[in-house]
Structure 1
Amino acid sequence: MGQTTQHSQQLEEAVRYIQSKLNGLTPAIGMVLGSGLGDLAHEVEQAIAIPYSDIPHFPVSTVEGHAGQFVVGKLEGKAVIVMQGRFHYYEGYPFQKVVFPIYVMKLLGVTTIVITNAAGGMNRAFRPGDLMLISDHINLTGDHPLIGRNDPKLGVRFPDMSEAYDREYRALAHRLSSQIRGDDGDQLELQEGVYCGISGPAYMTPAELKMLVIVGGDAVGMSTVGEVIVARHAGLRVLGISCITDMAIGDELEPLTHEQVMAVANKTKPKFIALVKAFVREV
């Protein structure tokens, strides 16, 4: 069996299994929730939870703060499918397996996807707790999810990435942010910038962070780039949001733990959830 045929069959089996649980619901909006941001899934009404471990050919998330399930239902009156937890290259999965769920969402009917993450801020204008719209990314993982034979049923051999993060969606998110206030009463001020995707799992050294700033990065993390590449390959429109959980500035770098990242993401959740719900309502 050829690589493309096997991949296609695995996708079909996963999609059939999920469809058997959906009672005819066809989600149009997909979401990938990063570290500490999974509580947005609790906002989904008429929710159907589907553990990744039950879905044929799915990997299983091994990272603390990632629940490891799809949640399907209604959010702001729209049919959505939410990845409560994602897969990472550093967990040891091949890149093609990391991005497998994006193709599954496409085949389930998704046309718009919101991809989120927790990231370190390298732009000195940022502060922990900020939300950053991703305007572009730099793939520094050393790998690419589209290497290998292309399946023309999923997308073209050489997908265009000139507007990986939808310009209209970013403008909409900026407009909506003016209506959102945090628990402190302050208006949500959205940052915008370039996300550098690295393989991880180690946090970066001061010299590495200085290099990323020189090449144009504003934030750094261990996810997202592969998912966005595949989403664009599949013709999905993408909104990307980073929660800036710490400052990753080479000259001022301090020790960092995953628990600290989770704590800041948890604190930022109300503004994050309000923004995503407003976006879903309007899109």
Structure 2
Amino acid sequence: MNKQALNEATNYIQEFAENAPVIGLILGSGLGVLAKEIEQPVKIQYDSIPNFPVSTVEGHAGQLVFGKLEGKQVVAMQGRFHFYEGYPLDAVTFPVRVMKQLGVKQLIVTNAAGGVNEEFEVGNLMLIQDHINNMNQNPLIGPNDETEGVRFPDLSNAYSKRMRTIAKDEAAGLNITLQEGVYVANTGPCYETPAEVKMIRKMGGDAVGMSTVPEVIVARHAGMEVLGLSCITNMAAGILPQPLSHEEVIETTERVREDFLTLVKRIVLTI
């Protein structure tokens, strides 16, 4: 990790965002609409921030949005970065380090994912209980800065039990179906084959995607409390007969938008 690059990005952002955020939000494919709910927004384009990567995927607006959500100071990444875009994992997770320096204590990570658990339905929201890193990469490989986190971080509570309890309680109160399961991260950009989906199911995975795990590892290394939510935008290969497409992902996130917005806002209010 380049400390100078981190400080340059943080200092630049602080020139525009006067109030320190306490909650960070990473908004996945098609889920960036949540940023529109932020009051008194201050928007900073990624390409204007020193040392920041740039989103290249449809459905990712490519900006930080600061302001208030349910009375809390937040910063939202309206679009994230992926390993498959060609970025190394230290670049993919760089914004998480910046959020930590800005003052973020709790991180809510969202994504679009394929359903592996055959009891799930397209359009379900899934609370991430745990993850399997199937990327054969880890963002913490290399020299460790003890001021940022310990050499060997514990991931036994990677997804905060406290925050998961809040999410389940809020979903029940809103009458929103909230599945819970294990998220498996692959590199992408190919969707999985039917044989790979069978393997993931046998591994214990309930949903599969191409993001989230690197950010969560770095967030836990930095001492943040983390909550993860997946939108099941399609059933993974081999479960249903139709081919998979990114267009389907965007269409499904649009369909479940109201439940997603309502639930996340209630979680932010309560945590």
Instruction: Encode CA deviations 1:154-202: one digit per residue, 9 max, x unaligned.
Output: 111100000100001111101001222xxxxxx2110000000000000
Look up the match of 1:57: 51
Question: 2:240, 2:264 → 1: CA distance?
Answer: 32
Question: 2:29, 2:57 → 1: CA distance?
Answer: 9
Instruction: Encode CA deviations 1:231-261: one digit per residue, 9 max, x unaligned.
Output: 0000000000000001115354531110011
Aligned pair 1:8/2:8, yes or no? no
Question: 2:113, 2:58 → 1: CA distance?
Answer: 16
Look up the match of 2:144: 150
| Mapping 1:237-256, distance limit 5 Å | 237-248=225-236, 250-256=238-244
Look up the match of 1:227: 215
Aligned pair 1:267/2:262, yes or no? no
Look up the match of 2:15: 20
TM-score (norm 1): 0.94
Question: 1:99, 1:252 → 2: CA distance?
Answer: 33
SS of corresponding position for 1:178: helix
Aligned pair 1:126/2:114, yes or no? no
Q: 8 Å contact 1:166–1:237 — kept in the other structure?
A: yes
Q: What is the letter of the counterpart of residue 57 of structure 1?
A: N
Q: What is the letter of the counterpart of residue 32 of structure 1?
A: I
Question: 2:260, 2:143 → 1: CA distance?
Answer: 38
RMSD (Å) for aligned C-alpha atoms: 0.9
Q: 8 Å contact 1:40–1:273 — kept in the other structure?
A: yes
Question: 1:70, 1:261 → 2: CA distance?
Answer: 22
Question: 1:251, 1:81 → 2: CA distance?
Answer: 37
Q: What is the letter of the counterpart of residue 5 of structure 2?
A: Q
Question: 1:203, 1:250 → 2: CA distance?
Answer: 11
Look up the match of 2:180: 192
Q: 8 Å contact 1:69–1:84 — kept in the other structure?
A: yes
TM-score (norm 2): 0.98
Q: Report percent identity of matched pairs.
A: 56
Aligned pair 1:175/2:163, yes or no? no
Look up the match of 1:164: 158
Question: 2:239, 2:229 → 1: CA distance?
Answer: 26
Q: What is the letter of the counterpart of residue 22 of structure 1?
A: A
Aligned length: 271
Provide structure 1 residue ranges, at least 5 long, that are not aligned to the other structure: 181-186
Question: 1:18, 1:151 → 2: CA distance?
Answer: 23
Question: 2:256, 2:226 → 1: CA distance?
Answer: 22
The 3 A distance-change label for structure 1 pair 160 and 45 is: same
Q: 8 Å contact 2:237–2:243 — kept in the other structure?
A: no
Look up the match of 1:78: 72
